[in-house]
Amino acid sequence: MRVQDLLGEQGLRLKLLTPDVPLDRELRWVYTTDLLEPNAFLSGGELVLTSEGWYRTPADCETFAASLAQGGAAALVAGDLLLGEVPPLLVEACARRGIPVLAAGPEISYGALSRTVIERINRERGRELAEVLGRHRRLVAALVEGADLGGLVAMLATELDTDCWALSVAGRLLAGPDDALPSALRAQLAVQALRAQQQPASTDGYTVLPIGRHGAGGGHLVIRGTPAGLGPDGLGTAEQTAELLALGGARRDERRRTEQRFHADLIALVDGGAPPGTVHARLLTAGISPDRPLLALTALTRGALRPWDLAADLAESVVDETSRAKAVVAGGEHGLTLLVSLDQTDDGEHLAELLRIRLALFEPAADGGRIAFGLSAAASPASGLERALEESRHAARLAALRPQRLALVTAAELDSHLLLLAGVPAEIRASYRQRLLGPLEAYDSEHGADLVHTLTAFLGENGAWRTTAAALHIHVSTLHYRIGRIERLTGRDLSTARDRVDLYLACTIGQNP
């Protein structure tokens, strides 16, 4: 019920005293008072009835109106029995605060007025509740009858008369009109939903609710429109739908886990050296052509937010955007392996670039979880699949050493000496550096010299004497003296390639791969 409905209510005969104040505010209850400052007893949306028993001086009108505004009163009905009229100062004070004022004649009983308004409010609430329950029953019935995610989302869109979508945790489209929500926007909404402190999240004119616990694994329900625009009833229906989608999603997740276990057997066959014919047959069963090049993508996961679900979803989301690519997912809670079938002309660089972009986007939403991806080079299923798997696993182990929570290392990066060093245990690397550079560091510390920096610069300039001297702002003869000192302390000959490589590796240990 709204304020304007009071004027049309038969038998009330209320007169509007504030014609310029909007009358569209909703009435939630009725409160009768003669307190000068009743705000402590208001919760917002009340129709306040008063006979002005609080009036002592004209200044009281301002105090009373301010208290109504502070308490969130929707409108004021004032009688003229005590004062003979509704004080004009009260009308003006309420009008300035956007509070409509209606006058009640002496023949109007506030008790009858309260009953009339409360009965109508309750009738309307009953109809609204019946509508909400009806929506809920229809959604539950659809789920029981076997409706999938698409069916439930379509029903919600009809109920709310707006576009709705179900997205995976990384923003893949699970249900809803695919041409109305671009891929980039879907990913952005998923990131913002994962980072949101409160649910539902509202961003860019969309409302996002979690499917399942915090959207982890279950995904997100996206509705075009803000929570305020949906209203309490629409938002309640959306929340109920999200809960039902979680039930449907649980069935989908169980199917995915079954498929992952099935595909894990395929990976085990490759690792076990199974005959090519056996591997080819399993590839065909999994929907992968053995005649097209394959990539292996390994993901090592740990931490919060069920990162193995996010890992699979991130990987599959970029596969979806790669022309004619298809993937099978194998693995479980602590690691995943994807075999990605490519177009004959594709070498995987586009997929790697898409994955890097997606990881950078989701990095702030990782929430303590860590995912290390390793991507192999394209390989022939007939002869290179075992090598591709080993390549992706090694790259993933190196990615796990990087500081980012979501990191990727590709086969193209495996030729870096820094990445090879990163695969060596930290204590061995530290021992290696100490054996080669320890004497120089001790000498620098004791004499205030700069031999380690000199050696690093010399090797970085490929042993070019004049270039190194210029970079260090010293004379060439001084550089010769320092290099001679370095060779005596380390026992190495910097004129030989072998000793240069050993010392160069020692200087680079400690850098991030």
Contact by Cβ (8 Å): 479, 468: yes
pLDDT in tens, 317-330: 888 877 677 777 88
| 216 pLDDT above the threshold of 60 | no
Top mean-pLDDT range of 71-80, 302-311, 339-348, 381-390 = 71-80
Query: What was the pLDDT predicted at 250?
Result: 58
Classify burial at 70, counting beta carbons within 10 Å of its beta carbon; exposed 0-12, middle 13-18, buried 19 or more: middle
- Distance between CA atoms of residues 91 and 73, nearest Å: 14
**CA atoms within 13 A of residue 461's CA, in its CB half-sphere:** 17
* Confidence at 512, pLDDT banded by 50, 70, 90: very low
Query: What was the pLDDT predicted at 334?
Result: 55
Query: What was the pLDDT predicted at 137?
Result: 62
Query: Using CA atoms in the order 481, 485, 486, 489, what is the torsion angle rounded to 10 degrees?
Result: 180
Nearest to 280 by CA among 139, 402, 380: 380
| Whole-number average pLDDT of the chain | 81
Domains annotated on the chain, with CATH: 3-118 (3.40.1390.20), 146-251 (3.30.450.30), 273-415 (3.30.70.270), 426-508 (1.10.10.2840)
Contact by Cβ (8 Å): 55, 61: yes
pTM over 0.75: no
- Distance between CA atoms of residues 235 and 152, nearest Å: 15
Count of all residues that appear for the chain in the document: 513
Strand arrangement, sheet containing 220-224? 173-175, 164-167, 220-224, 206-210, 201-203
pLDDT in tens, 443-476: 999 999 999 999 999 988 888 999 999 999 999 9
